Amino acid sequence: MTMFVRRLAAAGAVTLSVLGVGAAFAAPTAVQLVFESGGLKTLAPGATLSYRFARETDDKTLAPAFQDEVKLVVTAAEGGGKAATVAMFTGARAQSYGPLSADGNPVIIAVLEQDVREMQKLLGGSPYYIRNRMRDAINAGERVEPVRFELAGKPVDGWKVTLKPFARDAQRDKLKDFADRSYELTFSDAVPGGLYSLVTVTPRKSAETPLLVENLTFSGVTSGEDAK
């Protein structure tokens, strides 16, 4: 799981918030937003971030559509500092990841790893190859742009990162419809944990409707005290 982080080129320490939008600051990089934003720094151990998850598809060769929830729990790391665990889904679909680094928002790592597993199961080949293309896309960070969206009925500023890991891949023909898969991540300091949404779209060749759409959206936060 942590190989997404370990294999990234060092980008240097982030001394200022990379999520806030302002004329005095250049746009952050995708690496900073995904792995170095410090989105969990204001959350105490025991705090829980909740996300809605929706999977939409009508293709019978894929796992069926569903709606569920994802929860990230901030924990105390061995030797000090913070870590996090991520509970992806509930019931028969439940998967647990962690402890994970709290430098960014680890729910992103958990979602990307779910994608790697599904693509490897459907397409075969090496999961390392898929992970490396995702890593390369984050390092390249081709599109990082300011965005405004509503949170709890109020407009907030943030950053949108768009990734297309397989757009220029030499093995595109082997990836079928997944070759044009895109990831859109929206970040803001106004959102606990930094990440507001992660939307994955897999277009269907020669069709207007996508093959698969998955949407993870922030839905709330509770402190350790609130959970007692």
pTM here?
0.85
Q: Give the separation between CA 32 and CA 34, rounded to whole angstroms.
A: 6
Q: Give the C-alpha separation, 150 to 43, whole Å.
A: 22
Token pair of 18, please?
């990379």
Name the token pair of 224. Answer: 């350790």
Are the C-beta atoms of residues 190 and 200 closer than 8 Å to each other? no
User: pLDDT by residue (tens digit) across 62-103?
Assistant: 999 999 999 999 998 888 889 999 999 999 999 999 889 888
Classified as helix, coil or strand, 161 is strand
Mean pLDDT, residues 35-63: 91
* pLDDT, tens only, 162-200: 999 998 888 888 888 899 999 999 999 999 999 999 999
Q: What is the rounded distance in angstroms from the CA atom of residue 137 to the CA atom of residue 132?
A: 9
